[in-house]
Amino acid sequence: MLAQQDAQSASVKATRREWVGLAVLALPCVLYAMDLTVLNLAIPSLTTDLKPTAAQLLWIVDIYGFLAAGALLIMGALGDRIGRRRLLLIGSAAFAVVSLLAAFSKNAQMLIVARGLLGIAGATMAPSTLSLISNMFRNEREKTFAVSVWISSFSLGGAIGPVVGGVLIAHFLVGRGLPGPNPHYGAVVDRRAEAAA
């Protein structure tokens, strides 16, 4: 009887709703992975604006990944207890709020704390989205494709992170979140041009 139910659910094709859901679930995965690499081009500007020590700079860059990786299993278990969708919504809201805190950081310590909280909030996204995808797609072929889209969204986020970071540095004042040209960005570009000449 159970094998018959499994065979029936495996033959059910996903509807448009599931495919739209997959696109929506891929977005937090892109943001999660993007935040791992977004600071790569921002280091010179961060150093100029926030004046972190060498150890603080390492923490600014690495604490997000440390806490995201360390909290993945905990967040997966929490999702089993309170519900994956609820955990994803809570984590995504926290990620948005803490991103604003990081954008308006006034010193290195504040940015380290914000990046750490981002890592914890980001850890809610991977287990929640994968679990929701597994429940949405019953057909094995469609589930395989959906999981490959999920994995690709992480790759895309990691790849575009430095580009997005560079654009943000060029157009916003670091530590102030204000639109407008960043005067430090022009100085960095000028110094690099002089060094290349």
Quote the tokens at residue 187. Answer: 């100085």
- pLDDT of 127 over the 70 cut: yes
pLDDT at 193: 47
Average of per-residue pLDDT values in the chain: 84
- Alpha helices (runs of H) in 14-83, residue ranges in sequence order: 16-37, 43-50, 54-82
Q: How far is CA 3 from the centre of its chain?
A: 39
User: Which positions ≥6 away from 89 have C-beta within 8 Å?
Assistant: none
Taking the C-alpha atoms of residue 70 and residue 148, their distance in angstroms, rounded to an integer, is 24
pTM for this predicted structure: 0.79
pLDDT at 64: 94
**Which of 32-41, 63-72, 110-119 is the least confident region?**
32-41
The Cα-based distances of 88 to 35, 70, 174 in angstroms read: 17, 17, 28
pLDDT at 182: 43
pLDDT at 38: 86
pLDDT at 49: 83
Quote the tokens at residue 33. Answer: 């992975």
Which CATH architecture describes the domain 16-43+50-161?
Up-down Bundle (1.20)
Report residue 195's pLDDT band, with 50, 70 and 90 as the boundaries. Answer: low
- pLDDT of 180 over the 80 cut: no
DSSP letter at 83?
A: -
